[in-house]
Amino acid sequence: MIRVLFVCLGNICRSPMAEFIMKKEIEERGIAASFEVASAGTSDEEEGNPVYPPARAELSRRGIDCSGKRARKIARADCAHFDYILCMEDWHVRSVLRLCGEKEKEKVHRLSDYTDRPHDIADPWYTRDFAAAYGDIRAGVAAFLDNLQEKTSHT
């Protein structure tokens, strides 16, 4: 079982988009049974709230349902539980490392660092460009899975 946690600030836009894009992608690749996928925020500002409607609409346009998701803040227990903690921005990586400690450094990455265009995934809460967020996140998820499948095919 490979356990993956996506992290952003509020857990109502980017990280839930990543969670549900990933769930669809592993379903399509026929590898869903090997994964546990979840998401959380570095802040508790949106705790308990559903996915932000424009983010939900962006997923829905792609046939992805995220209706049961409620925002939660990352907890210390997540550090040991998850194998990969994939963050939207570099400062989320730094927050997660502060929470989890340097010993978990190997599992904490910025999602887009798996692509050939490493960058912070812009917050659509501010940019209002949910389609761009979707594209960036989808590219990151696909690159992460390609990387993982390449690694496991050589072991």
- Window 108-127: contact mask with ligand 4NP (x via CB under 6 A): ---------------x-x--
Cα dihedral: 33, 152, 76, 97 (round 10): -150
Residue type, 87: C
Tell me whether residue 14 or residue 23 sits nearer to ligand 4NP (CB atom).
14
Of positions 4, 6, 14, 66, contacts ligand 4NP by CB under 6 A? 14
Could you say which DSSP state residue 65 is in? -
Candidates 4, 51, 56, 8; CA nearest to 25 is: 4
Catalytic residues: 8, 14, 123
- Window 126-145: contact mask with ligand 4NP (x via CB under 6 A): --------------------
Say whether residue 44 binds ligand 4NP (CB under 6 A). no
- Per the CB < 8 A criterion, the answer to whether 1 and 34 are in contact is yes
The helices-and-strands tally (H runs, E runs) of the chain is 6, 4
Tell me whether residue 13 or residue 148 sits nearer to ligand 4NP (CB atom).
13
Question: Binding residues for ligand 4NP, per CB under 6 A?
Answer: 8-14, 45-46, 123, 125
